[in-house]
């Protein structure tokens, strides 16, 4: 089995958790977390996840993927794509150091998206091109389109939960608990197969990515419409209400673009980031290559026992 984790998602998650802790500790609403703390939390969680996965299947190959440093090609299709997101310098630095730490890890295989692509595109390409079972670990709903019965499933959530207390009521250890999602679960929840997921996103849009869908069509209406099995272009035959019908022509004009935005690439030529080759990775754009960045990368490597240079 191949288990593939969205590195950007987890770095962002732990950066915000560390920021919250720093602000509580200092009473400063603007306090920024230490990058070392973010990276510690990130690598510890990777260790937890890997241990959990290997306990289920000792032959599991653990993969961590990251976005390209260049803007997504989707911004060229829609100016508003992710335009609602603020670039946080600390997160950028944490992601850079996480890429280097994973690249030089003996336990994880690292992939970095080619220029202009996102981690989701790498995950989709890995899932599509692999002949093995694939477990995707990400909360990103875009990846629902990758689900395939008996072969590709998603771990939507993982958390470290306390185990039973000892005789003194003290929790001595914790274990990872996981929530899984399969193609059958999606069909029960939404009433259609994963191969219609892109059409569903086109209809309802994605507020997280700042992409609007069809006006006056929400999740309930979209599920009802797609359950009929008709192509989106023929949905008007089902009978739209007056408000929906008035906006439908404008939506159809955008449909091809929306499909291209929401469809993950499955044809990327992927090259693994090689272990022990951190210097090459830094020069390829995982940091700006300044002396300070190199020292930061070296700190990250030493902390987890993996030489960077």
- Count of alpha carbons within 13 angstroms of residue 31, beta-carbon side: 15
User: What is the arithmetic mean of pLDDT over 251-276?
Assistant: 88
Say how far apart CA 10 and CA 204 lie, in whole Å: 26
- Say yes or no to pLDDT of 12 above 80: yes
- Supply the mean pLDDT for the chain: 82
Are 289 and 73 a contacting pair, CB within 8 Å?
Answer: no
| Distance of alpha carbon 148 from the chain centroid | 18
What pLDDT is stored for residue 229 in this prediction?
87
More confident residue, 202 or 307: 202
Say how far apart CA 81 and CA 139 lie, in whole Å: 19
Question: Which domains are seen in the chain, by residue range?
Answer: 2-190+265-303 (3.40.50.1010), 194-262 (1.10.150.20)
- Please give the structure tokens belonging to residue 144: 């629902």
What pLDDT is stored for residue 43 in this prediction?
92
Are 277 and 99 a contacting pair, CB within 8 Å?
Answer: no
Tokens 């990103």, located at residue: 140
Residues 6+ apart with CB under 8 A from 270: 111, 122, 125, 126, 129
pLDDT in tens, 79-104: 999 998 888 888 999 999 999 999 88
- Say yes or no to pLDDT of 154 above 90: yes
Are 193 and 187 a contacting pair, CB within 8 Å?
Answer: yes
pTM: 0.82
What pLDDT is stored for residue 308 in this prediction?
24
Band (220; pLDDT cuts 50, 70, 90): very high
Residues 6+ apart with CB under 8 A from 15: 33, 38, 88, 90, 91, 94
Within 10 angstroms of residue 129's Cβ, the number of other Cβ atoms is 13
Helix, strand, coil content of the chain in percent (nearest 5): 50, 15, 35
Please tell me whether residue 35 adopts helix, strand or coil conformation. helix
Residues 6+ apart with CB under 8 A from 309: 278, 279, 294, 298, 301
List the Cα angle 32/37/39 in 5-degree steps. 115
Axis-axis angle for helices 35-56, 291-303 (nearest 10): 40
Q: Strand order in 152-162's β-sheet?
A: 174-181, 152-162, 134-137, 2-6, 61-66, 109-112, 272-273
């Amino acid at each position: 089995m191949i288990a593939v984790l969205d590195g950007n998602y987890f770095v962002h998650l732990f950066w915000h958790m560390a920021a919250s802790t720093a602000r509580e500790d200092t009473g400063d609403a603007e306090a920024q977390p230490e990058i070392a703390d973010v990276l510690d939390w990130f690598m510890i969680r990777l260790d937890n996840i890997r241990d959990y996965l290997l306990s289920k299947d000792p032959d599991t190959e653990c993969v961590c993927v990251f976005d390209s440093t260049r803007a997504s090609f989707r911004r060229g299709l829609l100016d508003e794509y992710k335009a609602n997101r603020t670039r946080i310098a600390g997160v950028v630095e944490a992601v850079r150091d996480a890429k280097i730490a994973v690249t030089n890890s003996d336990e994880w295989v690292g992939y970095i998206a080619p220029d202009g692509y996102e981690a989701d595109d790498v995950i989709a390409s890995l899932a599509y091109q692999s002949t093995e079972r694939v477990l995707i670990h990400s909360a990103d709903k875009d990846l629902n389109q990758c689900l395939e019965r008996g072969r590709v499933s998603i771990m939507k959530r993982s958390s470290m939960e306390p185990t039973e207390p000892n005789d003194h009521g003290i929790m001595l250890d914790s274990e990872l608990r996981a929530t899984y999602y399969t193609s059958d679960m999606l069909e029960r929840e939404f009433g259609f197969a994963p191969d219609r997921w892109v059409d569903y996103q086109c209809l309802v849009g994605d507020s997280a990515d700042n992409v609007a869908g069809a006006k006056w069509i929400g999740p309930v209406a979209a599920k009802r419409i797609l359950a009929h099995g008709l192509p989106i272009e023929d949905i008007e035959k089902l009978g739209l209400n007056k408000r929906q019908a008035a906006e439908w022509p404008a939506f159809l004009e955008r449909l091809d673009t929306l499909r291209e935005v929401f469809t993950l690439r499955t044809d990327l030529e992927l090259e693994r980031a090689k272990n022990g080759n951190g210097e090459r990775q830094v020069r390829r754009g995982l940091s700006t290559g300044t002396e300070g960045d190199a020292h930061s990368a070296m700190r990250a490597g030493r902390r987890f026992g993996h030489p960077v240079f």
